Structure 1
Amino acid sequence: MKKTNIFYWVFNGLFAFLMLGSAIPDILSQPIAIQGMHVELGYPTFFVPFIGVAKLLGVIAILVPGFPRLKEWAYAGLFFDLIGATYSILAIGKPDWLFMALPLALAIASYYFYQRRKKLKEAGATDQYTRVAVA
Structure 2
Amino acid sequence: MKRINIIYWIVTGLFAAFMIFSSTSNIVSSPEAVAMLHDQLGYPTYFIPFIGVAKLLGSITILVPGFPRLKEWAYSGLLFDLIGATYSFYSIGEPVSAWSPMFIFIGFGFASYLLYHKRAAMKAAQA
Q: TM-score range by the shorter chain?
A: over 0.9
Deviation at 1:88, TM superposition (A): 0.3
TM-score by length of 2: 0.97
Gaps of 5+ in 1: 126-135
Opposite residue 9 of structure 1, the aligned amino acid is W
Deviation at 1:97, TM superposition (A): 1.1
Greater than 2 Å deviation, 4+ residue runs? none
Match of 1:111 in 2: 113
Deviation at 1:99, TM superposition (A): 1.6
Match of 1:102 among 101, 104, 127: 104
State how far apart, in whole Å, the 2-side matches of 1:35 and 1:94 are: 15
State how far apart, in whole Å, the 1-side matches of 2:102 and 2:39 are: 19
The RMSD of aligned alpha carbons is 0.6
Gaps of 5+ in 2: none
State how far apart, in whole Å, the 2-side matches of 1:106 and 1:35 are: 26
Determine what percentage of the aligned residue pairs are the same residue. 58
Deviation by residue 1:108-133 (Cα, 9 ceiling, x = unmatched): 111111010010001111xxxxxxxx
If you compute each CA radius of gyration, which structure gives the higher value, 1 or 2?
Answer: 1
State how far apart, in whole Å, the 1-side matches of 2:50 and 2:16 are: 18
Aligned residue pairs: how many? 125
Deviation at 1:12, TM superposition (A): 0.2
SS at structure 1 position matched to 2:45? coil
Match of 1:47 in 2: 47
TM-score by length of 1: 0.91
